[in-house]
Structure 1
């Protein structure tokens, strides 16, 4: 009569432990990478929100400078005085500021740059159309660029 022994040999046990160890290490490295990158979408969304807000603010201004309008330099300190699209030309900041020129500490790692240029679009001549480009630089160096056009409505 033959008896069968049941169980694992030492070699089988070591091979099992190596395979499970490699699998766990792979899973943990993926989790580590995912956790490290989980804040990136938030930073990108914040940069997009800053760019959208600034572009909307600019495009809601008059096409041309009204009589007696602001003609100074484009700085955060005098942003509340901007009354037409061209006032934002050359506006550049390190950090984000509200309309009164007060820095927003939570957004100090972001930067904004604005260009305004006359550009023909469709059948509208360059003299009656301005292209506004807002570029936001996020803390990690990623840039978000949004552009929009402001047309002269003749008013």
Structure 2
């Protein structure tokens, strides 16, 4: 073989330093991209658990609100079973709790749906007022607004209840409507 043939054969048996450096840069960029995606996925892997827990808390608080009376009068009012409107009550129900009522009180607990209007819970607390340590990172807010006109009724005949539970950057709202279908019923 002549000398030029030998040079062309040698050039085909390896990579140059420039090719090797370009290869390393391309592979490094690819690895960084893949690891970045995996890092984001790993950070968000607990997110479904947080969302599910927030939804469970919101649904539980919504059920608690729904189990309350929805009467014209305060359930302690002697006219509660006879009143056909709020004007017939000695103590008419209004948005928000009456003086002295609290979700956590054994003697004067919330006793009507609208008592929960504006209720805020920072850290989840049971009905006895005991904080639940595992749920300390969650907060709940209850908003209640008259919604009867949305359904062809007088405004106070239906309430739109929204329970929003948050934890970090996760916010789960649960909304329902409570109708006054039996105004003189107080459980």
TM-score by length of 1: 0.82
What corresponds to 2:129 in structure 1?
A: 101
1:30-109 to structure 2, matched below 5 A, reads 30-64=37-71, 65-67=74-76, 71-73=98-100, 75-78=102-105, 81-109=109-137
Unaligned runs of 5+ in 1: none
Cα deviations across residues 60-101 of structure 1 (Å, max 9, x unaligned)? Answer: 322124345995545442289333212222321111111222
- Range with bigger deviation, 50-59 or 118-127: 118-127
Q: Residue 35 and residue 46 in structure 1: after superposition, are their counterparts in 2 closer, same or farther (change >3 A)?
A: same
Question: Separation in 2 of the partners of 1:127 and 1:11?
Answer: 78
**Greater radius of gyration (CA):** 2
> What is the count of residue pairs matched by the alignment?
154
Q: Of 157, 170, 174, which aligns to 1:128?
A: 157
Q: CA RMSD in A?
A: 2.6
TM-score by length of 2: 0.70
Question: Separation in 1 of the partners of 2:22 and 2:113?
Answer: 70
